[in-house]
């Protein structure tokens, strides 16, 4: 150890070492460099990183975000855009081909990919083809197609159903070019360096952005004059995929532009998130910031005078009801959050000797540039006027009434799924809630003459499915769940400007609905 300047190891190897050996290794090292750092959230990798908790840790990854929402820790200090990597010759261009064939998409993808491979070989390129499938059963089906189409290229399977010795032999046959086609199930993954993989036949597309980008990166590596541009063939299907991948799997998509846009956009989002988290000057020690997933919900206030920012008044307002003895305060972005511990009566009887202990999350954001104050809480019993006045000043007023329905203008092709009605005449049926096919009543006949107290609707915005709900009492919400507080802040900043936009007529909002109709006959 004392005679080495650099120690290279894998997380798996270190996991097999004794705890004392790992601790001694960390003691003698000044800093830790982590490649493929998106794995750091996994237990084996996290155990290694924790050994260097008090030392400098530098992480490298192409996807600094995880689909499961787990945090990689640290902050982004440098990003290298994909378009620069292509311009500087580190990544090859990749040509995407959408294959449309509903009758036999596997055959169509295989034919297109094999044709591309033969063309590349005839042009003098040393290219290999990888067919990606989602299961061993699928691999057995697909490899038979390649065996029929290209027996001279000796297609092989590579998956965990083979013994390790067989897998090793198949990999070697690929390296020796005894085969030019390999059908894989979660094999030759990240870290496997084989730049000659230049034709991707993606029979079963991945469903998430991060995994897709890692997979594509395998084919864009450069490696000398005998390698050309990469090609990818994908059946035209977008059902069930991540909304962010719809552009990628579009029929006329240019993957070089789309991938660059997607990666730079989401890396930029991650940088915003880490900057946001670093801006908290105080944080509760009882609850981790990244463990909080607030609902997309808010009540919105605005002030007749300039909004103030005084989060410390929450200490006086909640006094002994705070679970988090310290507030989470971000003065740069004007966000404060805390968790309360409140005693409430049990719902099944009247008792003075005991009660229920309920914990509520509160998040407040003051968007002083736009002039709005937002309050989110798991306690929906009130509209939290006392909190808004404590943080934003005595002159704040809750935005309520029909104006909140303007938020529904953001939803195109909107279909009402929940509608509350208030009858000002009937005392016995003053309020009613209508869901499913029953919403027809809320829009026709007697229901059309009653006041709507709240509306929830599904539809589309920016090419993806969305939902919004609004209540006359002042609440706006969505069925989405925020990944974290930063996600909620980004969502909530669209609410105030939308519900106060006088250019949006309530008449157009209330008339632009697609109301489901029950049919009793077949067409």
In the chain, domain spans? 11-59, 82-267, 281-398, 402-511
Average pLDDT over residues 410-435: 73
> Is pLDDT larger for residue 484 or for residue 255?
484
Helix 485-492 crosses helix 255-278 at what angle (to 10 degrees)?
110
State the pairing for strand pair 156-158/181-184: parallel
Q: Rg of the Cα trace of the chain?
A: 29
User: What ranges make up the beta strands (E) of 12-99?
Assistant: 31-34, 56-59, 94-99
**Above 60 in pLDDT, residue 428?**
no
Residues 221-246 have pLDDT tens digits of: 777 778 888 888 888 654 445 555 55
pLDDT of residue 415: 82
**Alpha carbons 21 and 187: distance in angstroms, whole number:** 32
Residue 16 CA neighbour count, 13 Å, CB half: 4
**CB atoms inside a 10 Å sphere around CB 25:** 17
- 8 Å CB contact between 147 and 155: yes
- 251: confidence class by pLDDT, cuts 50, 70, 90: very low
- 329: confidence class by pLDDT, cuts 50, 70, 90: very high
pLDDT of residue 1: 56
Of 4-8, 179-183, 444-448, which range is least confident? Answer: 444-448
**Among 82, 47, 40, residue whose Cα is nearest residue 65:** 40
CA dihedral angle for residue 383, residue 386, residue 388, residue 394, rounded to 10 degrees: 130
In sequence order, the 6+-apart residues with CB closer than 8 A to the CB of 245 are: 205, 207, 208, 209, 212, 238
244 backbone φψ class: left, alpha, beta (φ>0; ψ -120 to 50) = alpha
**CB atoms inside a 10 Å sphere around CB 78:** 5
- 443: confidence class by pLDDT, cuts 50, 70, 90: low
pLDDT of residue 249: 57
**Above 60 in pLDDT, residue 262?**
no
pLDDT of residue 462: 73
CATH class assigned to 82-267:
alpha beta
- 8 Å CB contact between 199 and 113: yes
pLDDT of residue 429: 60
**Above 70 in pLDDT, residue 270?**
yes
> Is pLDDT larger for residue 155 or for residue 288?
155
pLDDT of residue 190: 58
**Alpha carbons 221 and 218: distance in angstroms, whole number:** 6
**Among 290, 353, 301, 307, residue whose Cα is nearest residue 73:** 290
**Among 362, 313, 364, residue whose Cα is nearest residue 342:** 362
Distances (CA, A) of 335 to 122, 276, 283, 388, 395: 61, 10, 12, 12, 19
Give phi and psi for 115, each to the nearest 5. Answer: -60, -40
**Above 60 in pLDDT, residue 447?**
no
| 281 membership: H or E segment, kind and range | strand 280-282
Average pLDDT over residues 380-392: 94
pLDDT of residue 272: 84
| 197 membership: H or E segment, kind and range | strand 197-202
**Alpha carbons 203 and 94: distance in angstroms, whole number:** 17
Residues 24-61 have pLDDT tens digits of: 888 888 888 988 777 777 788 888 888 888 888 888 87
In sequence order, the 6+-apart residues with CB closer than 8 A to the CB of 515 are: 415, 416, 439, 440, 443, 444
**CB atoms inside a 10 Å sphere around CB 334:** 20
Max avg pLDDT among 329-343, 412-426, 505-519: 329-343
**Alpha carbons 57 and 32: distance in angstroms, whole number:** 5
**Above 80 in pLDDT, residue 14?**
yes
Residues 467-493 have pLDDT tens digits of: 899 999 999 999 887 888 999 999 999
Give phi and psi for 457, each to the nearest 5. Answer: -145, 150
pLDDT of residue 339: 94
Average pLDDT over residues 322-338: 94
pLDDT of residue 195: 87
- 8 Å CB contact between 160 and 136: yes
Residue with tokens 């929906």, as numbered in its chain: 380
Residues 124-133 have pLDDT tens digits of: 999 999 999 9
pLDDT of residue 118: 96
Strand partners, 231: 95, 199
Q: 3-class DSSP state for residue 294?
A: coil
- 445: confidence class by pLDDT, cuts 50, 70, 90: low
Strand partners, 322: 340
**Above 80 in pLDDT, residue 340?**
yes
- 8 Å CB contact between 485 and 365: no
**Alpha carbons 130 and 241: distance in angstroms, whole number:** 21
Mean pLDDT of the chain: 83
Distances (CA, A) of 331 to 283, 297, 354, 485: 12, 22, 39, 14
Give phi and psi for 456, each to the nearest 5. Answer: -125, 135
């Amino acid at each position: 150890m004392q005679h080495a300047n650099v120690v290279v190891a894998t997380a798996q190897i270190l996991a097999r070492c004794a705890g004392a050996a790992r601790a001694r290794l960390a003691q003698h090292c000044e800093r830790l460099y982590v490649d493929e750092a998106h794995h750091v959230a996994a237990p084996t990798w996290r155990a290694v990183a924790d050994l260097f908790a008090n030392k400098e840790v530098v992480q490298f990854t192409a996807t600094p975000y995880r689909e499961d929402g787990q945090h990689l820790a640290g902050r982004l200090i440098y990003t290298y855009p994909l378009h620069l990597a292509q311009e500087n010759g580190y990544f090859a261009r990749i040509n995407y081909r959408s294959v449309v064939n509903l009758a036999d998409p596997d055959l169509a993808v295989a034919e297109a990919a094999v044709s591309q491979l033969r063309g590349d070989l005839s042009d003098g390129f040393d290219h290999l083809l990888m067919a990606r499938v989602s299961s061993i059963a699928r691999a057995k089906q697909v490899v038979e197609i390649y065996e029929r189409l290209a027996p001279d290229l000796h297609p092989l399977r590579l998956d965990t159903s083979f013994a390790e010795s067989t897998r090793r032999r198949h990999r070697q046959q690929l390296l020796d070019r005894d085969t030019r086609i390999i059908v894989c199930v979660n094999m030759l993954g990240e870290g496997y360096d084989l730049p000659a993989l230049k034709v991707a036949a993606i029979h079963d597309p991945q469903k998430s952005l991060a995994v897709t980008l890692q997979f594509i990166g395998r084919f864009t590596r450069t490696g000398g004059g005998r390698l050309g541009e990469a090609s990818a063939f994908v059946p035209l299907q977008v059902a069930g995929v991540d909304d962010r991948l719809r552009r990628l799997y579009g029929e006329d998509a240019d993957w070089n532009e789309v991938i660059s846009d997607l990666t730079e956009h989401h890396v930029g989002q991650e940088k915003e998130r880490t900057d946001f988290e670093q801006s908290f000057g105080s944080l509760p020690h009882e609850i981790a910031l990244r463990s909080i997933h607030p609902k997309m919900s808010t009540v919105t206030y605005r002030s007749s005078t300039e909004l103030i920012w005084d989060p410390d008044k929450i200490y006086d307002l909640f006094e002994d009801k705070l679970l988090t003895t310290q507030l989470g305060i971000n003065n740069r972005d004007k966000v404060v959050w805390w968790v309360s511990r409140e005693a409430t009566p049990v719902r099944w009887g009247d008792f003075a000797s005991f009660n229920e202990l309920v914990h509520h999350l509160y998040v407040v954001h003051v968007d002083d540039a736009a002039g709005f104050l937002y309050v989110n809480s798991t306690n929906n019993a009130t509209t939290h006027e006392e909190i808004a006045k404590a943080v934003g000043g005595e002159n704040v007023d809750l935005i309520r009434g029909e104006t909140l329905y303007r938020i529904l203008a953001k939803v195109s092709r909107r279909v009402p799924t929940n509608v509350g009605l208030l009858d000002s005449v009937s005392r016995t049926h003053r309020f009613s809630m209508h869901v499913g096919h029953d919403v027809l009543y809320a829009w026709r006949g007697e229901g059309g003459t009653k006041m709507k107290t709240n509306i929830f609707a599904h539809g589309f915005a920016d090419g993806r499915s969305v939902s919004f709900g609004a209540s006359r009492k002042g609440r706006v919400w969505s069925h989405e769940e925020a990944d974290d507080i930063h996600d909620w802040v980004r969502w909530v900043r669209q609410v105030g400007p939308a519900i106060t936009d006088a250019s949006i007529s309530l008449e157009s909002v209330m008339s632009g609905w697609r109301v489901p109709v029950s049919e009793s006959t077949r067409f």
